[in-house]
Chains A and B, each alone.
Chain A
C-alpha cells in the first residue's frame, strides 16, 4: 500500500525513468553505487527497480536523516528495506560497514552512495573507501555504476519541498574488477564510471 503510494508519488513528481545501458534488470547480487545530491536519490533508485529486484535490494540510508522521526523511520526500514548506518560512528575503520556485510553475505543487493554525503555538483565528488572494501570481500557481487539526473534540481540540499522536475536513473555496465588494483585507483575508476553516465550539461 505505502509502497505503491510512494512509487506513484515519485512517478508523478519526478518521473524517475530507468535507463538500463550496459546492464539489464537481472536478479543477480549487485551493489548499485550512485552520485548523491538529494534525499530523493534513495527513493528514485528504489522505485526505478522492477518489483522482484526491489524486494532483495537494500538502500543504505543515513541514520541521522532516515532514522529520525517515526514516519521516516518506518518508511526507511519497513518499506524501502533500508540499512541504516551511523555516519558519525567512531570505532575501528570499517566498523560502520558491518550491517552492509550482513546484507551481502545473506545474498542481498545494496544501493549505496560512496560520496557519503550529498553534493551539489553535477558530477560526483571523491568516493569514500566503503565501496572498495565491500568489492574486495564480495567478489561475486556485480558493481553497477548508477547516475541520477536532476534530483539535485528537484530537491536541492536545504530545500523543504521537492518540485516536479523529471529525473532519470541510468544504470551502466558492471565495473570490471582488476587484480591487485590500489584502493585510490579503484575508487577513482568507480567515480569516473558514474560520471561517464551523466548526460551533457545544458548550457
Chain B
C-alpha cells in the first residue's frame, strides 16, 4: 500500500468517526431538555466542531509537506508558550528571558528540527536554554523570587517548545524499510494520544465513579483512564500497518503514549489548579486553550520519539 493510500484510509476513517460523532451530537441536542444536560451537550458539540477544524488544519499542513508541518508545530508551541506565560506571574525583570525564549530559542529549536540536527536539537533548551535564561534574568538585577521565576519560564519552555517539538521531529527519523513514511509516525502519536483523551472523556462521562486525584482534576476517573486507555491501546494496535511496528509492538507503544499522556494531563492540571484556573485559554471552543489539547502530547512526544529512535533506527 502506498503512503497516499494509507493516508486516504486514515483521514477517511477519522472523518467517518467525526461524522458519526456530529450526528450523535445533533441527536443529543434535540433530545436534551435539562439545563445541565444542555450545557454538556453544547460543550460536546463545540468540541466536535473544533475537532473538524483541527483535523482539517493537520491534513492541509501535511499536504503541504514537511516544512508546513514543522511550521504548524512551531505555531502550536508559540501559542502554548503564550498561554503558559500569560497565566504565570512574571515581572518586568523577566522581560529579557522571555524575549530570549520567544524570539531566539523557539525558532532555533524548530529550525534544528527542520535541518535535522539531532545532537543540538536535543540539548538546546535543557542545556543552553537552562544557562541562558537565568543569565538574562540576572542582568536586570532583580533578585526577588529569582529561582522561582527562572524555573517557571524554563519549565514552560521545556513543556511547550522542547517537548512538543519532538512530535514533528519524528518525521526526521531514518527507519530502514520505512523511508518516506515517517509522517505516519506523527499521525500514530497524535491519533493515539488524542483518541485516548477523547475516550477517557467519554468513559469518564458515562461511567466515571472513582476519581484518580480529585484534588488535581475532578474529571479524571479510574474508569475513564482504564476504559479510555484500553481503547486507545487497541486503536494503536489496530494501526500497526501504518508503523514500522508489529501489532504487539504497536500496542506497547500506544500504551507508553497513553501512560505519558495521562501523566501530562495530570501534571498540567496541577499547574492550572495552582494558578486557580480551569483552562489555559479560550482559543479552541469547547476545549479551552491550545495547551488544554496539547498537554498529553507534550509528555508523550519525547518518550515516543526516543523509544522509536532507540529501537528502530
Contact = CB atoms under 8 A, between A and B. Distances in A.
Interface of A: 15, 17, 120, 150, 152-153, 156-161, 163-166, 200, 202-203
A161 B95 CA distance: 9
A166 B86 contact: yes
Contacts, number: 42
Interface in B29-88: 78, 81-83, 85-88
Contact of A166 (B82, B89, B102): B82
Contacts of A152: 92
A17 B275 CA distance: 21
A17 B99 contact: no
Interface in B253-275: 275
Nearest to B106: A164
Contacts of B276: 200, 202
Q: Which 7 A-B pairs have the closest CB atoms?
A: A166-B86, A156-B92, A163-B98, A164-B82, A165-B86, A159-B95, A202-B89
B282 interface: yes
Contact of B86 (A150, A159, A161): A150
B85 A164 contact: yes
A194 B36 CA distance: 34
Nearest to A14: B82
A164 B78 contact: yes
Given A156-B95, A202-B87, 5 more contacts: A120-B92, A150-B86, A153-B90, A163-B98, A166-B82
B146 interface: no
Contact of A163 (B88, B89, B95, B275): B95
A178 to B, nearest CB: 36
The majority secondary structure among interface residues of chain A is: loop
B102 A164 contact: yes
Interface residues of B, number: 20
Contacts of A150: 86
B281 interface: yes
Contacts of A166: 82-83, 86, 281
A155 B87 CA distance: 16
29 contacts: A15-B82, A17-B282, A120-B92, A150-B86, A152-B92, A153-B90, A156-B92, A159-B95, A160-B99, A161-B99, A163-B95, A163-B98, A163-B99, A163-B102, A163-B103, A164-B78, A164-B81, A164-B82, A164-B85, A164-B102, A165-B82, A165-B90, A165-B98, A166-B82, A166-B281, A200-B276, A202-B87, A202-B88, A202-B89
Contacts of A153: 90
Contacts of B88: 202
Contacts of B82: 15, 164-166
Interface string B276-291: 1000011000000000
A152 B90 CA distance: 10
A11 to B, nearest CB: 11
A164 B276 CA distance: 21
A81 to B, nearest CB: 29
Nearest to B95: A159
B85 A165 contact: yes
A166 B82 CA distance: 7
A114 to B, nearest CB: 23
Contacts of B87: 202
Interface in B91-119: 92, 95, 98-99, 102-103
Contacts of A17: 282
Contacts of A165: 82, 85-86, 90, 98
Contacts of A15: 82
